Structure 1
Amino acid sequence: MSLTARSLMQTDVETVAPDDEVSEVLGRLARVDFNGFPVVEDDEERPSSAGDGHVVGIVTQHDLVHLFQTEDRTLWIPIGLPPFTETLTYAIDVSWDDLDLGIDLAKHAGRPISEVMTTDVVTVTPDTDLDTILDLLADDERDINRLPVVEDDRLVGIVARQDVLRAIRDQRVESKR
């Protein structure tokens, strides 16, 4: 049996909307065990799961943490309003001499995801074969960790590197039996 995106993908996909704020998405990333969200848009209310919208971008930890990257020191970013009940587990470099840091953090926290997301999203269809998926995930020029699966211009699932590795491992185990 040949593996395709349909057999590899997770269909319960957490997404964000283009108008979600950076601070909200950072908070959500701090609570999940993956490092990015497809950005989906729909004519109606904000999509809550796969199949509800079309992919307009992707936003990753790197995209968001990069907003606060400066030099010299480490800063832990608090989430929410005082008292900060949650903190992000990202250490980033910050110059303590930068008096505008607090203003910059506040300025970026309210920005919409549409301003920081990657819009050139690599997607696959449910029928994309394993070899193509491997080529995309192993591309030397792009650091792709997950591939949104799109059918009829709608998000129907996502294939992460872990999904592919797990499937290959399972296939190898099965062939040894």
Structure 2
Amino acid sequence: MDARDLMTTDVETVHPDDEISEVLTRLARADFNGFPVVDDDGRVVGIVTQHDLVHIFQPSDRTLWIPVGFPPFLETLEYAIDLSWDDLDREIDLLKHAGKPVRTVMTDDVVTVKPDTDFDAMLDLLADDERDINRLPVVDDDGKLLGIVARQDVLRAVRDERRTTGEPVS
């Protein structure tokens, strides 16, 4: 099994010149949390995620994360409390960033794979402890986007293979 077998070919993308406000609007309506950023020739030049966009409006140094546990649940939930901003500050900051191009916040060091990248290589990339990667754009030799493999696609493949054969995917 390789990237070609798992990739989704109908990929929503954004352009480096798209405004942050437009990308935020599209992301709010999407069933996923990021877009590959492609240039006019269809080459992947970046990736933009909810994480990238949230951080421009709420820097982590101004946020206090508080773990709160509610019985009878065993796990705690984390709540973010913004200690320094009021509504006016947020609105001014939103206006300041909304018209900027997405290239100002995108990650330009994108991890990509080729269509023949094998399953184990993709699994290693998605499970990397140093990078929090949720999706792998699949590109041709010129860097043009062919599809995307999401972490969820890999997990489904493992599940389906184990249900079918009882053995791990190879």
Q: Would you say same fold, with TM above 0.5?
A: yes
Aligned partner of 1:151 among 140, 146, 158: 140
The Cα of 1:64 is off from its aligned counterpart by: 0.2
> What are the Cα deviations for residues 92-148 of structure 1, in whole angstroms up to 9, with x where unaligned?
736235854322210111110011000000000000001100000000000000000
Other-structure match for 1:116: 105
Q: Which amino acid aligns with 2:35?
A: F
Kindly, what percent of the aligned residue pairs are identical? 75
2:164 to 166, 170, 174: 174
Q: What is residue 50 of structure 1 aligned with on the other side? A: none
Aligned to 1:25: 23
Matched, 1:62 2:60: no
In 2 relative to 1, CA 28–98 (structure 1 residues): closer, same or farther, beyond 3 Å?
closer
The one-letter code sitting in structure 2 at the alignment partner of 1:11 is T
Structure 1: state its 5+ residue gaps.
44-52, 74-90
Moved more, 165-174 or 9-18: 165-174
Q: How does 1:40-55 map to 2 (within 5 A)?
A: 40-43=38-41, 53-55=42-44
Cα RMSD (Å): 2.1
Question: What is the aligned partner in structure 2 of residue 6 from structure 1?
Answer: 4
Q: Give CA-to-partner distance per residue, 1:66-107, whole Å, 9 cap, x none.
A: 00114358xxxxxxxxxxxxxxxxx77362358543222101
Q: Which residue of structure 2 aligns with residue 77 of structure 1?
A: none
* Aligned residues between the structures: 149
Q: TM-score, with normalisation over the residues of structure 1?
A: 0.78
Map of 1:84 onto structure 2: none
* DSSP-derived class of the 1:62 partner: helix
1:36 aligned to 34, 42, 45, which one? 34
In the alignment, is the contact (CA less than 8 A) between 1:65 and 1:92 conserved in 2? no
Report the TM-score, using the length of structure 2 for normalisation. 0.81
Provide the C-alpha distance between the structure 1 equivalents of 2:18 and 2:50, rounded to a whole number of angstroms.
Answer: 15
Pick closer, same or farther for the CA change 1:92–1:18 going to 2, 3 Å: farther
Which residue identity lines up with residue 20 of structure 1 in the other structure?
A: D
Distance 1:105 1:134 in 2: 37
